Amino acid sequence: MNDFEVHASAGTEFPIQPLPQLEQVQLQSMLDWLSTYGADLQGGVTRLLYDQAWCKAQHALAKKMQEKGLTPAFDQSGNLYGTLNGNRTGAGMGKGIEEAPIVTGSHIDTVVHGGKYDGAYGVVAGVLALEYLKNHFGTPKRTLQVVSLCEEEGSRFPFAYWGSRSITGASGLEEVQHLKDQAGITFAQAICNAGFGPDSGHRTASHTYGAFIELHIEQGQVLERLGHSIGIVSDIVGQKRFSITVIGEANHAGTTPMAWRKDALAGAAEMITAVRSIALEAGEPLVATVGRVTAEPGVGNVVASRAVFSLDIRHIRQESIDRCWQDMLQAFSRIAAEQQLELNWEEHLSVTPIPMNEQITADIRSICEMEQLSYIHMPSGAGHDSQIFQPVCPTAMIFVPSRDGISHNPLEYTAEEDLMKGFRVLVQLLYKYGYGS
């Protein structure tokens, strides 16, 4: 789909709507409520795909959707939809051809010890936006949906964007079913234990969207530092994620001379230092991160036989990501050869940089101007489900500020008045596409 059909059907520009009592919507309290699912002792939130906290949160959300007059439904991946049915059945598109719904939402899963806003804000805002529109403007002409995407982070299994990729058909269960989490549980066991998967009786995940709009915290500090309320996302960075495995030889810490060791962890440490120096050499906006390192046998008086570290490379241009990976692989190979170590790697994720839909972006800009909200167009350094949807349906993202730019951390915070400004833009946009002519 290249033409953005919603805009065509919305016809000429029409003014934004007065939104009576919008400020009374209890967005903060619903966010606080959702954050109790997976609340951890460090004050953060941990909800991992198909784990108990995740299951309880999705089912509690389904109940809330029902209470708010939306029709809840799960798909086989565990994505949860709340639907506000429109009264137009493909008018002007030939009898009985249902128009694809306009969908908003985000992901329900988190990183380990994450914050309460990443993903959850877009889900909660979507539920409350549809409830508000139903209560104040009745049945829309075009069906509106909110989706609580089952997984985006890749925190439990070495695979990210499972929710959106299973919807667009970019990935299927056969691709992930053998993956294991750190406890050795397979993806196939986890999805079945959570009550989803092909034998669950839920409908397939594949679904056609007329458009996807994601409201999300910025997770950086550009908006706060520049003093803007809204970020209109121009592009989302591309990224590559790997597991790098270094294999040496376990040996006695006391009797093995330094020159005779095959120390996997010492080798990995030198490689990780090279990641940082190559990324600094490449310069902004390239970022490369090693977030996890494991060593075997992992005891203090044994030279490590094996070390595994994660690698996450991002940039707004694909060729810069590719070149950085090649430079790093060259450095890793040199270090491995010098220290007589074996080097293996596995690529878990490769998503290309992608611009957001221009028409929706222009509509968001118009709404910000008419609502007198200060905004800037900006790239996203974080990955999002929106980059999975954009290739198959018109997609756009709206950012609100993150205090001190902190995210993926229990200290993640966005002031309520900033949350409500983003919510206001979302409601106006959904009104335009759902109730426009």
Question: Which residues are near Mn ion by CB under 5 A?
Answer: 118-119
Q: CB neighbours of 269 closer than 8 A, spacing ≥ 6?
A: none
Q: Residue 114 or 394: which CB sits closer to ligand HGY?
A: 114
Using the minimum distance from each CB to Mn ion, give the nearer residue, 236 or 304.
Answer: 236
Radius of gyration of the chain (CA): 23
Identify the residue among 383, 394, 401, 422 touching ligand HGY (CB under 6 A): 383
- Distance of closest approach, residue 153 Cβ to ligand HGY, in angstroms: 5
CB of 366 vs ligand HGY, minimal distance in Å:
28
**Contact between 218 and 72 (Cβ < 8 Å):** no
Closer Cβ to ligand HGY, 220 or 267, answer by number: 220
Q: How far is the CB of 323 from ligand HGY (least distance, A)?
A: 21
Q: Which of 93, 53, 128 is nearest to 424 (CA)?
A: 128
Nearer Cβ to ligand HGY (127/149): 149
CB of 212 to Mn ion, least distance (A): 14
Counting contacts by CB under 6 A, is residue 152 touching ligand HGY?
Answer: yes
100 or 120, CB closer to Mn ion?
A: 120
Looking at the Cβ atoms of 241 and 424, the one nearer to ligand HGY is 241
Work out whether the CA dihedral 33, 34, 36, 37 comes out positive or negative: positive
Question: Nearest approach, Cβ of 152 to ligand HGY (angstroms)?
Answer: 5
Q: How far is the CB of 380 from ligand HGY (least distance, A)?
A: 8
Q: Which of residues 31-90 bind ligand HGY (CB under 6 A)?
A: none
If the CB atoms of residues 153 and 418 are measured against ligand HGY, the closer one turns out to be 153
| DSSP characters over 201-222 | SPBPS----SEEEEEEE-SSSH
Q: Does 263 bind ligand HGY (CB under 6 A)?
A: no
119 binds, among Mn ion, ligand HGY, none (CB under 5 to 8 A by kind): Mn ion
Q: Is the CB of residue 215 less than 8 Å from the CB of residue 424?
A: no
Please say which residue, 47 or 134, places its beta carbon nearer to Mn ion: 47
Backbone angles phi, psi at 406, to 5 degrees: -85, 135
Q: Which residues contact 387 (CB under 8 A, 6 or more apart)?
A: 236, 351, 352, 354
Closest to Mn ion by CB, 375 or 399: 399
Q: Across the strands, what pairs with 378? A: 233
Contact 320, 286 (CB under 8 A): yes
Q: Which does 78 bind (CB under 5 to 8 A by kind): Mn ion, ligand HGY, none?
A: none
Question: If binding is defined by CB under 6 A, does position 153 make contact with ligand HGY?
Answer: yes
- Residue 313 found at the interface with ligand HGY (CB under 6 A): no
Q: Show the tokens assigned to 76.
A: 């086989």
Closest of 358, 213, 242 to residue 311, by C-alpha: 242
Q: What is the closest distance, in whole angstroms, from the C-beta atom of residue 355 to ligand HGY in the complex?
A: 17
Using DSSP's 3-state secondary structure scheme, residue 399 falls into strand
For tokens 């910000």, the residue is 368
Distances (CA, A) of 422 to 95, 96, 119, 143, 149: 37, 35, 14, 22, 20
**Tokens 């350094």 identify what position?**
381
Q: Please, what is the minimum distance in Å from the beta carbon of residue 154 to Mn ion?
A: 9
382 sits near ligand HGY (criterion: CB under 6 A)? yes
Pick out residues in 154-193 that bind ligand HGY (CB under 6 A).
none
Closest separation in Å from C-beta 402 to Mn ion: 11
| Locus of tokens 């919510």 | 423
Judged by beta carbon distances under 5 to 8 A according to partner kind, the member of Mn ion, ligand HGY, none in contact with residue 385 is: none
Task: Give backbone dihedrals phi and psi of 207, rounded to 5 degrees, phi first.
Answer: -160, 140
Kindly state the greatest CA–CA separation across the chain: 82
Give the CA distances from residue 332 to residues 153, 241, 336, in Å, rounded to whole numbers and listed in that order: 26, 16, 6
Considering CB distances under 5 to 8 angstroms, the limit depending on partner class, which of Mn ion, ligand HGY, none binds residue 383?
ligand HGY
Contact positions vs ligand HGY (CB under 6 A): 152-153, 382-383
